[in-house]
Each structure stands twice: as C-alpha cells, then as structure tokens.
Amino acid sequence: MKIDFRPTRLPEVIEVVIEPHVDERGWIGEAWHTWQFASAGLPGAWISTKFVESSCGVLRGLHWQRAPHAQAKLVACHYGEVFDVAVDVRPDSPTYRQWVGVTLSHERRNLLFIPRGFAHGMLTLSPTSRCSYSVAFAGHHPESETGARFDDPGIGIVWPAVPTIITSARDAAWNPLA
C-alpha cells in the first residue's frame, strides 16, 4: 500500500495522504508504515495514540511540549472535519511564528505530520469530529507542557468561520507567543 507525502508551505510539516486499495467491500489503506515514513525522513515509531471527540466550534490548542520532552504528532480525522494547524515555535527558526493549516477529514483520507518544535491546534468544522493523534519521541510530561493563544495576532492564524468558538479555560488563558 502506498502513502503519499505532500509538503506544505512549512517544509517540515507534511500532509500524509492514504492511497487506498479499493474493491467491492470498500477500501483499505495504511496511515503510517515504518519504512515509508523513514524514507520520507519522518519518525517510524510512535509512543502513544490519543483519541479526541469534539462538536462544531471546539478549538483545541495551541499546545506543545518543550525540550527535552518535545513531541512530533501525526493527526488524523476519522469522522467529520477539522482544520488542523501547526505553528513554528522555534525562536531561532527562519519560519518562527509562521503557521500552516490543513483541513483533515475521513473523506480526504489525509493526516498531518507536525514535527517537534511546532505548536498544534485544531478546530472542529463539522457537527461532530472524531480524531486521533499519535506522538513520537516523548510521552506526556505535564511539566513540559506549554501553549500560546489561538488568536495571537503575532501569529495571525486565519481560522475558518464557525458559529461559535468553544475553548477550554486553560487554552483561553495562554499568553501570546513570546
């Protein structure tokens, strides 16, 4: 089975598209394969996978873990549709504060690879979404968690329109990216 790796305007953030095998029963495809990921320069081993269910307008993020527990993420939407965002939070990077957003859905059969040093956020666009994200390099370390405001004007993410943004008190309390 083939996986298509498509660069985004931030070259380290990769859209991963499942190239399915289709027959009279439906389709089957691989979301990741160790050797194909390694040949594309992506991690082939994952520490954990989390599942997330949200309603329309739920905005999660922007989150990341600081070194030495920085994580890479592979995000998939199994039901519904989300706008998934990666923001470069590496102060010494030429793309610092730049962002890229990709609409993920079960119909598109796409995922988003977010490397270490990037914040992650997602906004549910459909009535309900069910997503997962796998993390590489480090598990959950609360002492390394950090975030930035989803509406930070210094980043300038253009989120798709939804009737109402619903976020957690924690996410609403993050400061803008320093």
Residues assigned a catalytic role: 63, 133
* SS3 per-residue string spanning the chain: CEEEEEECCCCCCEEEEEECEEECCEEECCCCCHHHHHHCCCCCCCCEEEEEEEECCEEEEEEEECCCCCCEEEEEEEECEEEEEEEECCCCCCCCCCEEEEEEECCCCEEEEECCCEEEEEEECCCEEEEEEEEECCCCCHHHEEECCCCCCCCCCCCCCCCCCECCHHHHHCCCCC
Q: Please name the residue that has the structure tokens 């922007």.
A: 62
Q: Please name the residue that has the structure tokens 């609403």.
A: 172
